[in-house]
Structure 1
Amino acid sequence: MKFKGNRVVGMKPKTRLPIVFFLCFCFFLVLLFGYIIFSLDLNRNRSQRKFLQKFPEEEGDSFGHGETGDSSISSIPFQVLSWRPRILYFPNFASAEQCLSIIGMAKSKLKPSSLALRKGETVESTKGIRTSSGTFISASDDSTGVLDFVERKIARATMIPRSHGEAFNVLRYEIGQRYVAHYDAFNPAEYGPQSSQRIASFLLYLSDVEEGGETMFPYENGANMGVGYDYERCIGFKVRPRQGDGLLFYSLYPNGTIDKTSLHGSCPVIKGEKWVATKWIDNQELEK
Structure 2
Amino acid sequence: MRGKACKENWRFYKKPNLGFPALILSCSFFFIAGLFASNLLLSQDTSSDERWLKARARQLQSVEEEIISKYNLLPSGETGDDFITLIPFQILSWRPRALYYPGFLTAEQCQHIINMAKPSLQPSTLALRKGETAETTRGIRTSSGMFVLSSEDQTGVLQVIEEKIARAIMIPRTHGEAFNVLRYEIGQKYDAHYDAFNPEEYGPQTSQRVATFLLYLSNFEEGGETTFPLENDENFEGYDAQKCNGLRVKPHRGDAILFYSTFPNNTIDPASLHASCHVIKGEKWVATKWIRDQVQV
Q: Tell me the TM-score normalised to structure 1 length.
A: 0.77
Aligned mate of 1:95, from 98, 102, 106? 106
Note closer, same or farther for the CA distance 1:212–1:231 as it changes in structure 2 (3 Å cut).
closer
Deviations 1:103-151 (A, max 9, x none): 0000000000000000000000000000000000111110111111111
Q: Is the 8 A contact 2:192 2:239 kept in 1?
A: no
The CA RMSD over aligned residues, in Å, is 1.8
Give the match for residue 184 of structure 2: 173
Deviations 1:227-268 (A, max 9, x none): 244466511100013100010000000011100000001000
Give the match for residue 258 of structure 1: 268
Counterpart of 2:69 in structure 1: which amino acid? K
| SS of residue in 1 equivalent to 2:174 | helix
| SS of residue in 2 equivalent to 1:200 | strand
Query: Could you say which structure has the larger radius of gyration?
Result: 1
Counterpart of 2:75 in structure 1: which amino acid? F
Note closer, same or farther for the CA distance 1:283–1:194 as it changes in structure 2 (3 Å cut).
same
Counterpart of 1:280 in structure 2: which amino acid? W
| SS of residue in 2 equivalent to 1:156 | helix
Aligned mate of 1:276, from 286, 292, 296? 286
The alpha carbon displacement at 1:194 in A equals 0.6
Mapping 1:1-288, distance limit 5 Å: 54-56=69-71, 61-66=73-78, 68-222=79-233, 224-225=235-236, 227-230=237-240, 233-287=243-297
Equivalent pairs counted in the alignment come to 233
Counterpart of 2:129 in structure 1: which amino acid? R
Residue identity over aligned pairs, in percent, reads: 64
Distance 1:164 1:194 in 2: 15
| SS of residue in 2 equivalent to 1:221 | coil
Q: Which residues of structure 2 form unaligned runs of 5+?
A: 1-64
Q: Tell me the TM-score normalised to structure 2 length.
A: 0.75
Distance 1:267 1:54 in 2: 43
